[in-house]
Structure 1
Amino acid sequence: MDLAIWQIVLLVLLAGLTILDSLTLIIGLNFPVITGAITGLIMGDLVLGLAIGATLQLMVLGVGTYGGASIPDFTTGAIVGTVFAVLSGQNAEFAIGLAVPVGLLMVQLDILARFTNTFFLHRVDANIDKGNTKAIKRNILFGAIPWALSRALPVFIMITFGKGAVDWILNYAPEWLMGGLKVAGGILPVVGIAILLRYLPTNKFIAYLIIGFVASAYLKVPMLGVALIGIALAIIYFKQNLNKNNLGLAGNAGIVGEENDDGEYED
């Protein structure tokens, strides 16, 4: 089975829209289960696409790109995996095995897209100083182009030239390039977390932060366990403040009840 031109066009457009939607969170195309189902419809096998997307969805539950972090893009992996599974007549297991390296490759391209966007960011800053609102809007829109191309172009290459293109990129890309991207990928999440902590009430909740760090770094508690500890601490904090507010209201009610005839409060 060969891909028709209209299928290639739709798949490339879908890949570009998924990353743009992940930035705006309007439609929900950034979820592998949805993208896999749409790809299945395009390829003529909705059930297989839905199965592949749902399986990949389980691998990214609770994972987000907060603070500049880059994660494996299994949404793009769902597109590529579903396409090759249908073309080759293979099952979902084959597609998952292909989607994982594709998702890992997208991490590096995600970082490149972020770097490219700094060009438009500097142009936006320059036009803010000039007060040129039209140029600001234009460069913000231009910033979507690197993001879309970071997914659309690889998908076009993969579905046009086959799985060998993916293997070639992973195996023969220059070490300095892949190494540099890995280093940048490790720095970005740290910088992002530092930025988030800068604007959060960290000093007020420093004890909770230390508990989470110790649980993750020293006790090796999985991320879900750390999240549950955080929920428990949040519930305790909420109840403590609720009790304080109730006591305060009760105290105010008692003071009001002791008001004398002259409008003054008695001890």
Structure 2
Amino acid sequence: MDIQLWQILVLAAYAALAQYDGLHFLVGLPKPAIAGLFAGLVMGDVTTGLLVGGTIQLMNLGVSNYGGASIPDYMSATLISTALTISTGQGVEFAVGIGVPAALLLVQLDILARMANTFFQHKAENYADKRDYKKVKLMNILGVIPWSLSRFVPVFVVLFFGADVVNKILAASPQWFLTGLQVAGGLLPAIGIAILLKYLPLKTYAPYLVIGFAFAAFLNLPVMGVALIGGAIAFIKFKEREEQASKELSSTQVSGGGFDEDE
């Protein structure tokens, strides 16, 4: 299945808009899961879009551009890998194998976009010193252009030339290389979860982690089912602590009242 030009343009436009959203509105368009859903809708295969987006989302857990640092562009990688996966008929492992190198490569474009953006910001500062506030607004608007182009251009270029190129690469690639991509595609989401678990209080809540793992690994319970059970347990614990805090407060009030009477 070939990718149509209109699909390439729509996906590239989404990448540009998502970058702007990540800097301003914060609706959630840069999230890989949302990008995968959108790409699946555009390509006519929502299931694959959700699988690819959800898988790459797991790799993105706990990763953020703290302090303005450049991080892998998993949003654009999701758009690219979803479209190529659907067009070539490959599996999710192939998508992750394509998406990870793309995300890492796009870090360099993010850096270039930041460097270009500083030009407009310095101009805005100069106009602010002159109290020319209309041009200050204009510079801030123009500063969006390099940010958006840093996502629009690579997505458009890769998808425009990518399907045939990817098929040729697959045909020429040895089996050990393709197997390596599949193994990496299976490991990377687990690494993302491991990074997230590192920041959670596992020593206190380790039994619940074991329970969730047992449900998923040995009882083949879907993730949604495990999440619902976890939510129910969390609600029960919340109510128990709430009742305990209420009893302690009542006990303190009674104790305090008795003390006043003795005095």
TM-score by length of 2: 0.63
Identity of aligned residues (%): 45
Counterpart CA distance in 2 for 1:66 and 1:72 is 13
1:86–1:222 Cα change, 3 Å: closer
Q: Give the equivalent residue in structure 2 for 1:78.
A: 78
Q: Indicate whether 1:141 and 2:141 are aligned.
A: yes
**What is the correspondence of 1:8-27 to structure 2 with a 5 Å cutoff?**
8-27=8-27
> Amino acid of the residue matched to residue 112 of structure 1?
L
Q: Give the equivalent residue in structure 2 for 1:129.
A: 129
1:15–1:58 Cα change, 3 Å: same
Q: What's the CA shift for 1:26?
A: 3.1
Q: Give the equivalent residue in structure 1 for 2:88.
A: 88
Q: Give the equivalent residue in structure 2 for 1:106.
A: 106
Q: Residue 162 of structure 1 aligns to a residue in which SS? A: helix
Higher helix share: 2
Q: Give the equivalent residue in structure 1 for 2:198.
A: 225
Counterpart CA distance in 1 for 2:80 and 2:196 is 29
Q: Give the equivalent residue in structure 1 for 2:46.
A: 46
Q: Residue 28 of structure 1 aligns to a residue in which SS? A: coil
Contact 2:61 2:196 in 1 (8 A): no
> Amino acid of the residue matched to residue 225 of structure 1?
K
Counterpart CA distance in 2 for 1:7 and 1:43 is 7
Pairwise CA RMSD of aligned residues? 2.6
Q: What's the CA shift for 1:4?
A: 1.9
Structure 2 residue runs without a partner (length 5+): 167-193, 203-259
1:125–1:60 Cα change, 3 Å: same
CA-to-aligned-CA distance 1:72-123 (integer Å, 9 cap, x gap): 1111110000011011011111111100000001111111110011100110
**What is the correspondence of 1:1-267 to structure 2 with a 5 Å cutoff?**
1-162=1-162, 164=165, 224-226=197-199, 228=201
Q: What's the CA shift for 1:18?
A: 1.4
TM-score by length of 1: 0.62
Counterpart CA distance in 2 for 1:26 and 1:65 is 14
Q: Give the number of equivalent residue pairs.
A: 181
Structure of higher RCO (CA pairs closer than 8 Å, 6+ residues apart): 2
Q: What's the CA shift for 1:63?
A: 1.3
Structure 1 residue runs without a partner (length 5+): 166-220, 230-256, 258-267
Counterpart CA distance in 1 for 2:72 and 2:136 is 31
Q: Residue 3 of structure 1 aligns to a residue in which SS? A: coil
Counterpart CA distance in 2 for 1:32 and 1:223 is 17
Counterpart CA distance in 2 for 1:150 and 1:3 is 21
CA-to-aligned-CA distance 1:22-57 (integer Å, 9 cap, x gap): 112432101000000000000000000000000000
> Amino acid of the residue matched to residue 102 of structure 1?
A
